[in-house]
A and B are shown apart, each in its own frame.
Chain A
Amino acid sequence: RKEVEQDPGPFNVPEGATVAFNCTYSNSASQSFFWYRQDCRKEPKLLMSVYSSGNEDGRFTAQLNRASQYISLLIRDSKLSDSATYLCVVNKGAAGNKLTFGGGTRVLVKP
């Protein structure tokens, strides 16, 4: 089983619609969770951290479910500019605190 697993997509989303997707992680000791956004052949950029109580940043809402070991990202009122690959990132919690990246979920927002 991969340490961090994501549905690769693509999720084809009409402009203005809502899209949500999950990411599962295997290490129950994981401490920190993040969503990054990556555009084609560009560096990943931090979208938001994921807090235990869930958190929202504008049109983006992140949730953490420790019992089932997954995090989710919901995008409301999708914009064309939201088209990107969304990377789930988990801090393994081990010494050195290396981050592990999921394979990414590709989202395509269409007019």
Chain B
Amino acid sequence: GAVVSQHPSRVICKSGTSVKIECRSLDFQATTMFWYRQFPKKSLMLMATSNEGSKATYEQGVEKDKFLINHASLTLSTLTVTSAHPEDSSFYICSATDDLSNEKLFFGSGTQLSVL
């Protein structure tokens, strides 16, 4: 089946640094990728939707200058957390689809970000 590779799986960084998370679709072309964050015991919250070759669409309350999303190819999207702070510590997950209905979602394995 379709596979989405996400890495790193875990990252620990100092406050003020930037962290890049990659999400790759391995055997299909992902027209749309979604980025979520999840705090402990909370639901997945959609951060942004990215379409290849265009600017990402951010959900209300998500700072686009803080969470930079690039979707330069049909197989790769990146999320960069700029100037990370402890409150950015969270579980970040990407998902991808090649289906216009966006109902067949394939998830990456997630990235646990810890900002010290």
Query: Could you tell me which A residues sit within 8 Å of B by CB distance?
Result: 8, 32, 34, 41-46, 87, 91, 96-104
Contacts and interface: CB of A to CB of B under 8 A. Distances in A.
B41 A43 contact: no
Given A8-B41, A41-B110, A102-B43, A97 B49 contact: no
Contact of B105 (A99, A102, A103): A99
Given A98-B34, A99-B102, 10 more contacts: A41-B91, A41-B112, A42-B109, A43-B107, A44-B107, A98-B49, A98-B102, A99-B103, A99-B105, A101-B44
Q: Which 3 A-B residue pairs are closest in the complex by CB-CB distance? A: A43-B107, A103-B43, A101-B44
A10 to B, nearest CB: 10
15 contacts: A41-B110, A41-B112, A43-B109, A43-B110, A87-B43, A96-B57, A97-B101, A98-B34, A99-B102, A99-B103, A100-B46, A101-B36, A101-B43, A101-B44, A102-B43
B36, B45, B105: which has the most chain A beta carbons within 10 Å?
Answer: B105
B93 interface: yes
B93 A96 contact: no
Given A43-B107, A101-B43, A96 B102 contact: yes
Given A41-B91, A43-B93, A98 B110 contact: no
Nearest to A6: B43
A41 B46 CA distance: 17
Nearest to B10: A41
B9 to A, nearest CB: 9
A44 B46 CA distance: 13
B102 to A, nearest CB: 4
B110 A97 contact: no
A106 to B, nearest CB: 8
A44 B44 contact: yes
A43 to B, nearest CB: 4
Contacts of B102: 91, 96-99
Given A44-B44, A102-B43, A103-B43, A91 B103 contact: yes
